[in-house]
Every structure is written in structure tokens, then in C-alpha cells.
């Protein structure tokens, strides 16, 4: 993992210097850019606000779909938020807000749940009301007075909400550069009474009495909110970047930095805050901080044996770590209630830790949420899901509106991708390599073999006949003989770079290499794979799918790259289509490329004419789409924070009229093509013919025409498949046709 992080940092550093990852008009801090890439590649969800520029973008995210309908799905996911009162814990489980009875911490029981519009990033509970940060769906307000009968009673969705803090009758929510103050005296009708604006990105907030302690990326504001309509700066304390979270007890503010620990700020005089101590250990990434009395509790990731740490701050100038314990594999949030620490373990659920003896904390119990779906494969009536920390899950999808989990197998690793052939499922685990499962009985999958590859961050895989091709990141491509599933053996490898993805057709492997793009290998001799040409550059290429003579590449920066690979020794890019968000995966069926896009959801691109791709549909859902599988017109979309979606593409074929303002048709007798078209008004008309290589072979009409009915003929001397593009004003139609000579 450390090696991967090193490479990712190099990758990110280049992006930051180049400035190409984000619109130059959006002045994000460099640290935020780094976090976005690191968090995506390492399995964390970036804040949606980092991908958006203004309120209108959020409105568009909520527009949901075009030519698509949600048929169903499984919407559980990682736990990224937890709050506790007495013997009740309030948690996020993907889209679900759940209430757990933890009277017996060894066996927490769900006593209430309600589905929210998207994954949950923060929770605050006050006066029998829960305030839920729901990303681009704003603040959702839930009546929790009766946990058996939870109901949403209000919402505030004018801005995206990732962090919320509730004090008395006010809710303080972070916005991109500042915070809003909401009056929640009537939770059913929250409204904004004031805003405090800052010049840099917001990162944390804590309210006490009439003061708000507000973090930006490079310092701490102390804000007087005695008049909520006019919040006023009391002081600003400049700090080293990059601050991430804050907790305040008595006269001390504990300011956390994700990459190093925390520092102690004396705020006894709000006009003159000063740093008096710090805790900067040498390991771990810090995701949350909670201070109570003379103790500070920290949620730590990247250090599984010490994911909860306890620091004694009775002497604030010299904080001393006194306890630590394993609370799952990962920790991203922590909340203390009485003798218990509730740890949000991301894909490892909620861990409950007894901290009555802070020198010897011990885990008492846990509740398992969804693990974070990274990959999905559909065969017959079953969906096979790589659910992160929860391993392989199998769902009966014969009724798409209600997928039923039939079986699961937790390999104790992080399941990242899956492929199914006959009665075997091949699962790529990020830290333990290839696992082979017998799924002949979907209700009882069993492990029958495994092969631990050389890297500790295995990702994608492709199974072809008796070989599994495994993307082993910095250790390249590993080729595993799986003829005997109980005894898989590596027989070949390619070490030409850090490999993200692979797709195999016959004797060619199409490989995505970090920073290099597409590399095509001859694997006719799998013991000695060889590059067959120079490849196609693509700095942010992430995934590949091959159909016919074309390779379709999901490029995190550029969108969809279309590569002509008719000559594998000399492939070339013929076009790029920019999609919303960051493209993570691609699947091609007929004349459509289905893109899983981080912050863009599902995007559907017509590739009927590869030289002229265009979007024909989308389903944005929770946004964080990172894997996809398509059967017919049904797309199964893996969402790292919200399980998986089943989406029906109900739009046109992509080779017919998708703009109804004019009429056009073609008549094909296989020796020539006749195009008939008509329209009202006076329009610019452009009719062109393209071949399979995306090259224009004929321009039939190019000019302004008046309302009427027209015909034009095209005769070709060469047999083949062609695409006729008809553009009339803003209307566009593409037809696929064939000439036989």
C-alpha cells in the first residue's frame, strides 16, 4: 500500500502542477486536489462539493436522469458518520440512516431505518431530531422520537451539505467557502438566517455558546454568532496547511491535520488564540477528532492495528498517547458517549469500543454495514458484487426492483473486482491477490483456490479461457493459469509500468498503464507477453473495453477516448468525448458506451459513429459510480458509497432520430443510399458519410436551405459499413448503413 501511495502522490503532483484536473476558474487548494485523487484511488469518496462550482451545478446533479429509469438496486454502503446518545447510535449505511440499540454493545440491534436520497457524510442529533448531511441533496431532517417509525419532516437543499453541527436552535453547515447558519427552531421549516464567508475552502466547524470555531485550509477563524444574521470575525489564527477538523473543550481547540495529527490552540482569549502543544506521530492518516475532558480520541486510517487512538491532554503543552486499539480495518469517524467510543469504520461498519479504561481500550462489538461496491458482474439472474471489506456478495436480480442477497463470502480482504465463468467467480482482492470461488450454489459460495500476487494493491482482472489476467499495479500485469481452480499458478508477467486495467481479446491484451495510456500486448505466448506497438498516450486513462476494431478508454480527465486498434501495432485516437465528472469504467454494448463516472454517475454515449460520439442518456444517482456491467439495455452501476443501481436505458438506439424537430430517413439498397429529409424554417444542413475508421468519406450537403422536402443519393465504390450523419439546425441524426459491391 505504501508503494501505491508513493506512486499516487507522484501522479497527483503532476496533476497539481499541470493544473489540468480542474477548471482553472475554480481556485481549489492544491491539497484538496491531491486528496481528491488519493481518496478515489484508495477507496475514499471525495466531497461532492469539490467537483461543483455553484448552486446551479447542484440543481443539475439532482435532475437525475435523461432517457434512463431506476429499476432498483441495493443501496447499502460504508459507514462514514456516527452519532450516539445514551444507548442509541445513529449511523449512516450507504443511503440508509439507521438507529441501533447498543444497550448490549456486543450485539447492537437495528431498531429503525429510513432511506435518504444519497450517502450520509455527517449526523447530528438534538431534541429527538436528526440532522443528516446528504451531499448535493442538502440537509435532511428526521424525526427520531420513535425509532421504529422514522420519518423525514424537513429539509434544506439550497446548498450541498457535507458537515453539520447543531447547537440549540441553530444548525451550522459548511459551504464551499464559509458556513451557513440555519434557524431550526421549527425543524420542519429550516431557513437560513446568516452566512459567514471565507476566501479559502472550508474544512471544519465547532459551535459553543456564542462563538463558532471555523476552520479553513490554512487557519482558524473565531466567529461571533450572537447575532446570527451578522456573524462577525473575532480573530483569525494562521496555521500550516492543511487543517481538516476541530473539537473544542474548555479553553482549548484541538485542530486536526489529516497527514500529521493535531495541535492544541489556547482560545481562552478569543482575540488572541495561540498554539501551545501538538501531537504529531509518525504514522497513519487522521480522519476525525473528538475531545472530551482531558482526553482526545482520533479515528485513524492506514494503520489497522491502531485505528482508534487515545491521547491524554491533561497537560495541553505535551499531549501523550496512552491507548490505542484495532477497531476494524479503517476508521473515518469517532463519537464518545459514556464509556463507549463509536467508530465509523467506512467499509468495515460501526465498531463499538469500551474506553472506560483509556489505557486499555477494547472492541466490544460491531454492526456490519455495506463495504463499498467497487465492481459488479452479471450472469443469468445473479449479480456478483465486489463489496470492498465485505468481500463477495451474490444477489438474485430476477426482480430488478427488489434484488435479494442470496449469499456472501468475506475473504478478510478488500474485494475490488469480480468476473464469473461457469460456476466459478474470480475475485481480485486489493491486498491478497486472486481468489477463486465456487458459486455453483449462489447461497453458499466457497473458496477453492487463491494466488497471492506480488503487490498489495491488486485491482482489475480479466478472465479468458484458462487464464486470469490480473492488474497488479506497480508490479504490472500478472498472468495466472486457472485450469486447476484449486491450484492457480502464475505463468507470465509484464512489468512495463503500473497497470490499472486489462481487457483480453484472442491473443491480444489491452492494458492501461498509469501515465502511459493504452499498451497492447501479444499474449499468444502467455509466458512471455510482448508489446506489439507504441501504444496510445493517455495520462489519466483508467479502464478499457474492446469492441470490434475499437478500444474505448475511460479517462478520468478527458472522458471517453475512442481508439482505432485495427492495426494493433499502430493504434491511434480518433476522438474524445468529455463526460460529466471523472470517468472510471466503461462497458460497450452495440452502439453505446456506458461510462461509470465519479461525480457524474452513469453516462451513456452513442458511438454509432465513432468519429462523432454524443451523449444520449445519463443517470446521476449518488454520483460516485466506479464500476459498470451491462446486459441488453440494463446497466448495473457499482457505487462506492451507495451499493449498486439497476438502471434501464429507455432512450433511442443512438442510430435513429433523437431530435424530433425535423424528419429524416434513409433507403439502402446495398449499392447506394438515398437520404430523404424535411424541415420547417430556414436551417443549416450538413450531411456527411464516415467509414468505420471515423474518416469522412463524403460530404453530401453543406449549406443553408429553406423549408421543404429534399433527397440526396450517395454511391460508394467500396463495400463496407458506413455512418451517415444528418445535421439540420440543432437536430442531429446518425444512421448505420452497409454497401455491398
pLDDT of residue 64: 65
Give the strand pairing for 139-143 and 530-531: unpaired
Strand ranges (E), 282-357? 285-292, 295-301, 308-312, 320-325, 333-337, 340-344, 350-354
Q: Given a cut of 80, is residue 371 above it in pLDDT?
A: yes
**C-alpha distance across the termini of the chain, in Å:** 58
Interatomic CA distance for residues 268 and 122, integer angstroms: 28
pLDDT of residue 4: 35
Phi and psi for 5 in degrees, rounded to 5? -60, -40
- pLDDT tens digits for range 559-579: 999 999 999 999 999 999 999
The residue behind cell 479468458 is: 464
Q: Given a cut of 50, is residue 661 above it in pLDDT?
A: yes
Q: Given a cut of 90, is residue 454 above it in pLDDT?
A: no
* Burial classification of residue 713, based on how many CB atoms lie within 10 Å of its CB (0-12 exposed, 13-18 middle, 19 or more buried): exposed
Q: Specify whether the CB–CB gap between 604 and 68 falls below 8 A.
A: yes
pLDDT of residue 368: 92
Q: Which three cell numbers stand for residue 672?
A: 447506394
* Burial classification of residue 385, based on how many CB atoms lie within 10 Å of its CB (0-12 exposed, 13-18 middle, 19 or more buried): buried
Q: Which three cell numbers stand for residue 367?
A: 454492526
Q: Which three cell numbers stand for residue 611?
A: 468519429
- ∠ at Cα 604 (602, 605), nearest 5°? 145
Interatomic CA distance for residues 311 and 337, integer angstroms: 17
Q: Given a cut of 50, is residue 222 above it in pLDDT?
A: yes
Q: Which three cell numbers stand for residue 68?
A: 434512463
Percent of the chain at pLDDT > 90 equals 65
Strand partners of residue 576: 561
Q: Could you tell me which CATH number the domain at 78-197 has?
A: 2.130.10.10
Q: Which three cell numbers stand for residue 568?
A: 494493433
Element (H, E) at 726: strand 720-728
- ∠ at Cα 630 (626, 635), nearest 5°? 70
Tally the C-alpha atoms within 13 A of residue 540's C-alpha that lie toward its C-beta. Answer: 21
Cα 420 to chain centroid, rounded: 23
Interatomic CA distance for residues 64 and 59, integer angstroms: 9
Q: Specify whether the CB–CB gap between 296 and 254 falls below 8 A.
A: yes
Residues contacting 17, CB < 8 A, separation 6+: none
Contacts 24+ apart (CB under 8 A), 308-312: 308/334, 308/341, 308/343, 308/351, 308/353, 308/361, 309/281, 309/284, 310/355, 310/358, 310/361, 311/279, 312/358
Q: How far is CA 205 from CA 28, 80, 215, 216, 399, in A?
A: 19, 17, 6, 9, 44
Q: Which three cell numbers stand for residue 603?
A: 453516462
Interatomic CA distance for residues 408 and 420, integer angstroms: 15
The domain ranges of the chain are 2-53, 78-197, 375-588, 663-739
* pLDDT band (50, 70, 90) for residue 283: confident
pTM of the model: 0.79
Element (H, E) at 56: helix 55-61
Residues contacting 292, CB < 8 A, separation 6+: 249, 336
Q: Could you tell me which CATH number the domain at 663-739 has?
A: 2.60.40.2550
pLDDT of residue 49: 32
Percent of the chain at pLDDT > 70 equals 88
Q: How far is CA 699 from CA 564, 682, 684, 707, 721, in A?
A: 22, 20, 14, 21, 17
- pLDDT tens digits for range 684-738: 899 998 886 667 889 999 988 888 889 999 988 888 888 888 888 877 777 778 8
- pLDDT tens digits for range 375-431: 999 999 999 999 988 999 999 999 998 999 999 998 878 899 999 999 999 999 987
CB atoms within 10 A of CB 319: 22
* pLDDT band (50, 70, 90) for residue 582: very high
The chain-wide mean pLDDT, for the chain, equals 86
Interatomic CA distance for residues 52 and 464, integer angstroms: 40
**Is there a shared CATH topology between the 375-588 domain and the 663-739 domain?**
no
Find, among 186, 179, 41, 204, the residue nearest to 122 by Cα.
204
pLDDT of residue 32: 34
Residue 35 in 3-state DSSP? helix
Residue of higher predicted confidence among 126 and 695: 126
CATH topology of domain 375-588: Methylamine Dehydrogenase; Chain H (2.130.10)
Q: Specify whether the CB–CB gap between 680 and 409 falls below 8 A.
A: no
Q: Given a cut of 70, is residue 36 above it in pLDDT?
A: no
Residue 16 in 3-state DSSP? helix
pLDDT of residue 15: 39
Amino acid at each position: 500500500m505504501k508503494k501505491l501511495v508513493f506512486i499516487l502522490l507522484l501522479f497527483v503532483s503532476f496533476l497539481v502542477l499541470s493544473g489540468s484536473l480542474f477548471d482553472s476558474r475554480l481556485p481549489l487548494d492544491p491539497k484538496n486536489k491531491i486528496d481528491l485523487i488519493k481518496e478515489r484511488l484508495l477507496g475514499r469518496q471525495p466531497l461532492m462539493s469539490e467537483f461543483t462550482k455553484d448552486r446551479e451545478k447542484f440543481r443539475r446533479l439532482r435532475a437525475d436522469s435523461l432517457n434512463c429509469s431506476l429499476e432498483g438496486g441495493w443501496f447499502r454502503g460504508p459507514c462514514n458518520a456516527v452519532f450516539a446518545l445514551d444507548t442509541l447510535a445513529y449511523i449512516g449505511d450507504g443511503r440508509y440512516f439507521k438507529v441501533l440499540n447498543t444497550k448490549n454493545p456486543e450485539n447492537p440491534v437495528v431498531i429503525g431505518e429510513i432511506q435518504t436520497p444519497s450517502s450520509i457524510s455527517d449526523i447530528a442529533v438534538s431534541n429527538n431530531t436528526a440532522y443528516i448531511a446528504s451531499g448535493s441533496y442538502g440537509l435532511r431532517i428526521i424525526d427520531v422520537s420513535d425509532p421504529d417509525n422514522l420519518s423525514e419532516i424537513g429539509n434544506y437543499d439550497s446548498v450541498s451539505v457535507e458537515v453539520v453541527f447543531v447547537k440549540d436552535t441553530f444548525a451550522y453547515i459548511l459551504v464551499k467557502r464559509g458556513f451557513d447558519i440555519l434557524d431550526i427552531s421549527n425543524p420542519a421549516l429550516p431557513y437560513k438566517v446568516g452566512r459567514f464567508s471565507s476566501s479559502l475552502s472550508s474544512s471544519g466547524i465547532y459551535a459553543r455558546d456564542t462563538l463558532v470555531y471555523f476552520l479553513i485550509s490554512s487557519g482558524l477563524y473565531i466567529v461571533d454568532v450572537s447575532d446570527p444574521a451578522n456573524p462577525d470575525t473575532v480573530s483569525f489564527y494562521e496555521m500550516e496547511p492543511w487543517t481538516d477538523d476541530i473539537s473544542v473543550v474548555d479553553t482549548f481547540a484541538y485542530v486536526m491535520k489529516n497527514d500529521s495529527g493535531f495541535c492544541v490552540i489556547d482560545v481562552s482569549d478569543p482575540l488572541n488564540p495561540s498554539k501551545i502543544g501538538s501531537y504529531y506521530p509518525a504514522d497513519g492518516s487522521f480522519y476525525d477528532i473528538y475531545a472530551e475532558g482531558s482526553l482526545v480520541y482520533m479515528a485513524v486510517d492506514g494503520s489497522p492495528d491502531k485505528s482508534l487512538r487515545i491521547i491524554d491532554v491533561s497537560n495541553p503543552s505535551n499531549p501523550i498517547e496512552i491507548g490505542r486499539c484495532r477497531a476494524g480495518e479503517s476508521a473515518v469517524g469517532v463519537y464518545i458517549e459514556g464509556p463507549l467510543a463509536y467508530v465509523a469504520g467506512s467499509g468495515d461498519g460501526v465498531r463499538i469500543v469500551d474506553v472506560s479504561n483509556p489505557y486499555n481500550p477494547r472492541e466490544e462489538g460491531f454492526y456490519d454495514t455495506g463495504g463499498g461496491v467497487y465492481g459488479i458482474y452479471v450472469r443469468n439472474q445473479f449479480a456478483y458484487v465486489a463489496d470492498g471489506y465485505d468481500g463477495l456478495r451474490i444477489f438474485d436480480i430476477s426482480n430488478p426492483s427488489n434484488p435479494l442477497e442470496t449469499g456472501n463470502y468475506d475473504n478478510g480482504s478488500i474485494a475490488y473486482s469480480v468476473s464469473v465463468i461457469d460456476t466459478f467467480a474470480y475475485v481480485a482482492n486489493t491486498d491478497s491477490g486472486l481468489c477463486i470461488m465456487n458459486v455453483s450454489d449462489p447461497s453458499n459460495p466457497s473458496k477453492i483456490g487463491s494466488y497471492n500476487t506480488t503487490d498489495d494493491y491488486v485491482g482489475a482482472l480479466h478472465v479468458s479461457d484458462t487464464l486470469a489476467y490480473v492488474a497488479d499495479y506497480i508490479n504490472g500485469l500478472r498472468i495466472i493459469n486457472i485450469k486447476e481452480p484449486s491450484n492457480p499458478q502464475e505463468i507470465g508477467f509484464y512489468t512495463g509500468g503500473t497497470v490499472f486495467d486489462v481487457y483480453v481479446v484472442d491473443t491480444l491484451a489491452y492494458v492501461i498503464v498509469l501515465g502511459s495510456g493504452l499498451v497492447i500486448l501479444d499474449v499468444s505466448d502467455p509466458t512471455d507477453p510482448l508489446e506489439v506497438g507504441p501504444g496510445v498516450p493517455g495520462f489519466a486513462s483508467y479502464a478499457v473495453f474492446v469492441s470490434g476494431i475499437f478500444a474505448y478508454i475511460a479517462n478520468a480527465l478527458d472522458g471517453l477516448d475512442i481508439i482505432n486498434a485495427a492495426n494493433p501495432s499502430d493504434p491511434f485516437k480518433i476522438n474524445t468525448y468529455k463526460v460529466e465528472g471523472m470517468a472510471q469504467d466503461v462497458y460497450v454494448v452495440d452502439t453505446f458506451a456506458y461510462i461509470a463516472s465519479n461525480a457524474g454517475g452513469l453516462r451513456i454515449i452513442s458511438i454509432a459513429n465513432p468519429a462523432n460520439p454524443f451523449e444520449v442518456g445519463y443517470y446521476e444517482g449518488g454520483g460516485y459510480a466506479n464500476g459498470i456491467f451491462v446486459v441488453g439495455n440494463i446497466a448495473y452501476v457499482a457505487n462506492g458509497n451507495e451499493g449498486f443501481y439497476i438502471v434501464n436505458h429507455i432512450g433511442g438506439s443512438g442510430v435513429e432520430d433523437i431530435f424530433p424537430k425535423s424528419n429524416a430517413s434513409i433507403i439502402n439498397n446495398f449499392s447506394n443510399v438515398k437520404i430523404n429529409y424535411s424541415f420547417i424554417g430556414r436551417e443549416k444542413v450538413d450531411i456527411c458519410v464516415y467509414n468505420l475508421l471515423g474518416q469522412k468519406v463524403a460530404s453530401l450537403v453543406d449549406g443553408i436551405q429553406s423549408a421543404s422536402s429534399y433527397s440526396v443519393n450517395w454511391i460508394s465504390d467500396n463495400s463496407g459499413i458506413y455512418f451517415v450523419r444528418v445535421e439540420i439546425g440543432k437536430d442531429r441524426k446518425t444512421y448505420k448503413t452497409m454497401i455491398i459491391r
